[in-house]
């Protein structure tokens, strides 16, 4: 069978009972993460702009789907767009292999479909798990190569996850899901140049709108084609430059992969479990620098005053964002506020980073002077094949000693209870009460026992 038919059969046949406990647990966690991000961003300019844009665009339309946090009603596509933009604005994303953020597309599509279809929690969790698995398998080996061709891997692959979630919750057949995936090939989009040249790129918000269009086309009988992913003129040829598995770049140094392996072990080996939580609102490659450095300093009781300098050995891709082919203009690798040096210094000097803060100080916020001083004594050492998000941190102290801690890349992969614990501090700065946020977390925890999952989750983001 073609790749899209393999995926379609997996999605159509998947039942909640088929999900390993860890997979169902991760589906709860990514749901809480995405909703938390929306809550952080409820009154940010980007969220207000997205809502105003859709309200203007959809004047006279039927408002049947609910926007998170505000309770406004829009069309399915409109609500999904605004919710995706809000989750993006909040910065609390999940991350898969550095450059894709599945929940920013998948959760908005799943919420709209669950709300309008009256889905149970088990149905919601099953659709979310299926969507992550399809998207991440499609993306895994190709993310750096796709980025090197000028495409942003987040929305380019995110459309497939969003479509799978909506199709599964919409009860589409395997044939229809196959067609929806095929139509996503026609609708996938995302480019790097806008953001590199001073603009703001359309990302997962556009992907989720197009995903719902692809699902609607499939539902109403539009055929998509048989080999739209792996065919000679198909998705991988277009976005990766060939359909033979040749790679321009890879995180591991590999130069090729086998496209046929994309669906190998589907339903048995869950790539979804590699998804990690970007708990701090900064680029994912910075988050481990905060925690690994903080843990190292805690273990050895190293204070700011003790530190002479810090060295961090990192995957070389983490110093060439978003791609070695198209590094961000002006990214010269020098320490500055918002750089990796800055976050490493933050971990050493303060043993953490504020959860409600962005990548740089907001209005009225200031940086500790220790951080601003120490970041100039942090050196990054790029290495090929180094584990993503797994820096090796060495702190050199003024008394001539040195202390090292190896990051594993798994520091931000954890179960639901740890996710609920780690995200809880944001509750003090949200529009909803701490009690309501605790209720939201508990609803995510008990989703498998609940009916009307979409309505319940959405309602708990709206201030009472």
Number of separate domains in the chain: 2
Residue 447 lies in a domain: no
Residue 414 lies in a domain: no
Residues 261 and 348 in one domain: no
Last residue of a domain, one of 406, 437, 456: 406
Residue 244 lies in a domain: yes
Q: What is the mean pLDDT of the chain?
A: 96
375 and 293 Cβ atoms separated by less than 8 Å: no
Calpha distance 109→62 (Å, rounded): 18
Structure tokens that stand for 357 in this block = 């803060």
Residue 98 lies in a domain: yes
Last residue of a domain, one of 277, 293, 319: 277
Residues 288 and 241 in one domain: no
CATH number (domain holding residue 371) = 3.30.1330.120
Residues 196 and 48 in one domain: yes
Q: According to the model, what pLDDT value does residue 61 have?
A: 81
183 and 217 Cβ atoms separated by less than 8 Å: yes
What CA dihedral angle connects 242, 243, 244 and 245, to 10 degrees? 80
Range of the domain at 368: 284-406
Residues 46 and 194 in one domain: yes
Q: According to the model, what pLDDT value does residue 328 have?
A: 85
Largest CA distance in the chain: 73
354 and 287 Cβ atoms separated by less than 8 Å: no
Residues 26 and 62 in one domain: yes
Residue 428 lies in a domain: no
Q: According to the model, what pLDDT value does residue 331 have?
A: 75
Taking the chain, what is the end-to-end CA distance rounded to the nearest angstrom?
50
pLDDT tens column, 355-402: 999 988 988 899 999 999 999 999 999 999 899 999 999 999 999 999
Q: Is the pLDDT of residue 32 over 90?
A: yes
Q: Tell me, letter by letter, the H, E, C secondary structure of 267-304.
A: CCCCHHHHCEECCCCCCHHHHHHHHHHHHHHHHCCCCH
Q: Is the pLDDT of residue 174 over 80?
A: yes
Calpha distance 140→389 (Å, rounded): 15
Residues 272 and 388 in one domain: no
Calpha distance 361→454 (Å, rounded): 35
Residues 133 and 248 in one domain: yes
Calpha distance 35→442 (Å, rounded): 13
Residue 396 lies in a domain: yes
SS3 147: helix
Residue 329 lies in a domain: yes
Last residue of a domain, one of 277, 311, 326: 277
- Rounded to two decimals, the pTM is 0.97
pLDDT tens column, 410-454: 999 999 999 999 999 999 999 999 999 999 999 999 999 999 999
SS3 152: coil
Residue 434 lies in a domain: no
CATH number (domain holding residue 126) = 1.10.4100.10
Residues 253 and 166 in one domain: yes
């Amino acid at each position: 069978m073609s790749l899209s038919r393999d995926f379609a059969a997996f999605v159509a046949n998947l039942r909640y009972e088929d999900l390993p406990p860890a997979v169902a647990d991760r589906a709860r966690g990514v749901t809480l993460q995405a909703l938390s991000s929306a809550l952080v961003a409820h009154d940010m300019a980007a969220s207000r702009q997205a809502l105003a844009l859709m309200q203007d665009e959809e004047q006279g339309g039927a408002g049947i789907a609910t926007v998170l946090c505000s309770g406004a009603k829009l069309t399915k596509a409109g609500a999904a767009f605004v919710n995706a933009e809000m989750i993006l604005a909040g910065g609390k994303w999940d991350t898969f292999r550095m450059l894709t953020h599945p929940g920013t597309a998948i959760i908005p599509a799943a919420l709209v479909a669950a709300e309008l279809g009256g889905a149970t929690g088990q149905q919601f969790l099953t659709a979310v798990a299926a969507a992550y698995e399809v998207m991440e398998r499609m993306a895994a080996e190709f993310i750096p190569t796709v980025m090197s061709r000028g495409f942003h891997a987040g929305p380019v692959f995110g459309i497939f996850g969003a479509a799978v979630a909506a199709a599964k919750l919409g009860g589409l057949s395997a044939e229809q899901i196959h067609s929806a995936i095929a139509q996503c090939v026609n609708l996938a989009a995302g480019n790097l140049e806008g953001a590199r040249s001073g603009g703001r790129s359309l990302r997962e918000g556009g992907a989720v709108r197009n995903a719902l269009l692809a699902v609607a086309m499939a539902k109403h009988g539009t055929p998509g084609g048989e080999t739209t992913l792996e065919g000679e003129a198909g998705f991988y040829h277009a976005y990766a430059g060939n359909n033979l598995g040749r790679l321009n770049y890879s995180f591991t140094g590999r130069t090729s992969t086998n496209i046929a392996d994309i669906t190998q072990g589907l339903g048995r080996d869950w790539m979804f479990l590699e998804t990690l939580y970007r708990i701090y609102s900064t680029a994912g490659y910075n988050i481990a620098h905060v925690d690994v450095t903080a843990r190292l300093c805690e273990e050895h009781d190293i204070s700011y005053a003790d530190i002479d300098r810090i060295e961090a050995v990192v995957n070389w891709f983490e110093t060439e964002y978003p791609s070695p082919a198209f590094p961000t203009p002006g990214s010269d690798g020098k320490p500055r506020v918002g750089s990796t040096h800055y976050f490493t210094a933050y971990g050493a000097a303060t043993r953490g980073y504020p959860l409600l803060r962005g990548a740089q100080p907001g209005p009225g916020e200031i940086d500790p002077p220790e951080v601003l001083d120490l970041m100039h004594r942090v050196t990054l050492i790029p290495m090929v094949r180094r584990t993503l998000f797994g820096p090796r941190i060495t702190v050199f102290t003024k008394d001539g000693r040195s202390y090292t801690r190896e990051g594993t890349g798994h520091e931000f992969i954890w179960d639901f209870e740890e996710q609920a614990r780690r995200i809880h501090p944001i509750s003090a700065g949200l529009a909803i009460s701490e009690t309501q946020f605790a209720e939201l977390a508990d609803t995510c925890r008990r989703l498998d026992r609940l009916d009307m999952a979409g309505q319940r989750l959405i309602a708990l983001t709206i201030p009472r």
